[in-house]
Structure 1
Amino acid sequence: MKAFLSTGWSLITFRAGPDALPYAPRMILPLVVLNLALGFVIQAVAGSGMDKPVVQLSAMALAAEALWLWLLLRRRGWDNRWVQGFSALVLIDTFITALAAPIALLAGAGEALLAVGAVAQIVMTLWSLTVRGAIYQHTLEIERWKGVLLALTPLFAVMVLTILLFPELLPAPPPQV
């Protein structure tokens, strides 16, 4: 686990690709559990009242990412790259979740800090998408912009599934006059 965590910062700062991670299929489950636990703890501490669907949404996002990457690699016959590619995606998601923890805590701090939190959330989302694109770029040996486009696919799939499975997360429509 130490080798993975020490490589995480290099991944999110674009200094390394997924090939810098050791090939360790046995580490995928601990990384996924760490990711889910971190997301749950942050939401619980923030007190947003959304503690219950956080684990489901995170698990759904990781499953979509795993399946999408597997399909892309399977199509090329590069199945052996999945372990490091998916491990890198889970690892960068875990690091960015940890770095975004103060944003979740700002949500309950009041109106004044809400705008700062919204801007910070946009920056973190764009950073996450760019790093994911770099992971896809290295794993699939494609250009960065193609990697970013491929990284959007599981994101959109999870958004659609979230709307279908968790409609209570959507804001209520304004009353009709």
Structure 2
Amino acid sequence: MRYHIRIRNNFKVFSLIRQKQVTAWHLFNNLKVGELGHYQGIVKMYGQLCYLSGTRTIKDGKIEYLILVCFNQPDQALEYYGKCWQVETLFRGLKSSGFNIEDTHVIALDRLEKLMLLVMIAFVWCYKIGDFIDNEIRPIRIKKHGRRALSVCKYGLDYLSRVLLTGYNELNINLWQFLSCT
């Protein structure tokens, strides 16, 4: 099974090249900030052979590492991890960031398929509205830690909800145009 998993900096791995257990961040200590690196050897974790990739960053004045464990192709690990993270963001949006799809308790497969289709259309609609407002009208506030106060989808969902519930479109946006893809 393919996997690309982020591990903590202080995670211990067994280096087959060095024939000893080392802390993962030590394998990437020679990287410059923003540089991507791949450990040349294979490491062993919990009896499994795997590869490591990592990058070095500075966050809040402190050096941090993003270290990924993968089953093969360590040179593509960050790209795949980024794609997986998009899926995780989608799941968060569908579950706890507004759509709360698990609260429906739908188990009939045909109904679940229809529900998922409708929720996916709504999700994309909210995302496109949020992206438009963020880029063209009013950017999402950035918090002190450097991350956005809201996700783009939640931004769009909040605006669309207000318009549909109150009938007042304060930004005078043609919300239906986002569904037409024109």
Shorter-chain TM range is under 0.3
**Quick one: higher RCO (CA 8 Å, sep 6+), 1 or 2?**
1
**What's the TM-score once normalised by structure 1's chain length?**
0.27
Please tell me whether Structure 1 or Structure 2 has the larger radius of gyration of its CA atoms: 2
- Normalising by structure 2, what TM-score? 0.26
- Structure ranking higher in strand proportion: 2
